[in-house]
């Protein structure tokens, strides 16, 4: 299993993904301190951390981006020290190319590409592959799928 994270400056989305079936096992968007605590207690069976990394495209950024970078480092440090030394940065452009074959892809395109590939969201009575996903959880899953598609060397 892999742990995929879409980091934020206050909260981050994560998804535990089965590396063989690509099935999402557990997912949520939670506070960064809680996610940090979960890494060495709850996620100790994961083999790899795939985390979205910030990239510069020449535009000015605010303090939230730099705070997110600090959290990326903290998540990696916790994972490497307590779980497994294997981690990988996944850049947004990699996700766009891998899932949509276009750098112009938006979040809605990535979401649709994942649904086209794995199945519908579903309902409470008939939950689908993505039942319970919302907002940033889609991004965390996209990080994990991109890692699995491009970088699997278990």
Average pLDDT over residues 131-151: 95
pLDDT of amino acid 129: 93
pLDDT digits (tens, 9 = 90+) for 74-133: 999 999 999 999 999 999 999 999 999 999 999 999 999 999 999 989 889 999 999 999
Strand order, beta sheet including 2-6: 24-31, 11-17, 2-6, 48-53, 87-91
pLDDT at 108: 95
Q: What is the pLDDT of residue 57?
A: 74
**Cβ atoms < 10 Å from Cβ of 8:** 19
* pLDDT tens-digit readout, 28-79: 999 999 999 999 889 988 999 999 999 877 777 788 999 999 999 999 999 9
User: What distance in Å separates the CA atoms of residue 58 and residue 41, rounded to the nearest whole number?
Assistant: 38
CA–CA gap between residue 113 and residue 98 (Å, rounded): 10
Question: What element of type H or E holds 97?
Answer: helix 92-100
Among 40, 30, 27, residue whose Cα is nearest residue 74 = 40
Per-state percent for the chain, helix, strand, coil, to nearest 5: 45, 20, 35
Provide the pLDDT for residue 152. Answer: 59
Taking the alpha carbons at both ends of the chain, their separation in whole angstroms is 10
Count of CB atoms within 10 A of residue 77's CB? 13
- From the list 98, 83, 20, 18, the residue with the least C-alpha distance to 52 is 98
Predicted TM-score of the model (pTM) = 0.93
pLDDT bracket for residue 151 (50, 70, 90):
confident
* Burial of residue 137, with CB atoms counted within 10 A of its CB: 0-12 exposed, 13-18 middle, 19 or more buried: buried
Residue 148 has pLDDT above 80, yes or no: yes
**What's residue 154's pLDDT?**
46
Q: Are strands 2-6 and 87-91 parallel, antiparallel or unpaired?
A: unpaired
């Amino acid at each position: 299993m892999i742990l995929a994270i879409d980091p934020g400056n206050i909260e981050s989305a994560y998804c535990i993904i089965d590396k063989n079936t690509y099935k999402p096992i557990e997912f949520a968007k939670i506070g960064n301190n809680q996610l940090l605590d979960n890494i060495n207690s709850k996620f100790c069976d994961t083999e790899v951390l795939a985390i979205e990394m910030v990239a510069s495209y020449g535009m000015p950024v605010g303090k939230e981006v730099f705070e997110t970078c600090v959290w990326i480092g903290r998540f990696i440090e916790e994972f490497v020290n307590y779980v497994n030394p294997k981690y990988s940065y996944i850049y947004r452009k990699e996700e766009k190319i891998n899932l949509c074959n276009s750098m112009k892809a938006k979040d809605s395109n990535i979401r649709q590409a994942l649904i086209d590939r794995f199945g519908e969201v579903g309902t409470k009575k008939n939950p689908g592959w993505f039942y319970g996903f919302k907002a940033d959880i889609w991004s965390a899953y996209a990080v994990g799928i991109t890692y699995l598609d491009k970088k699997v060397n278990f």
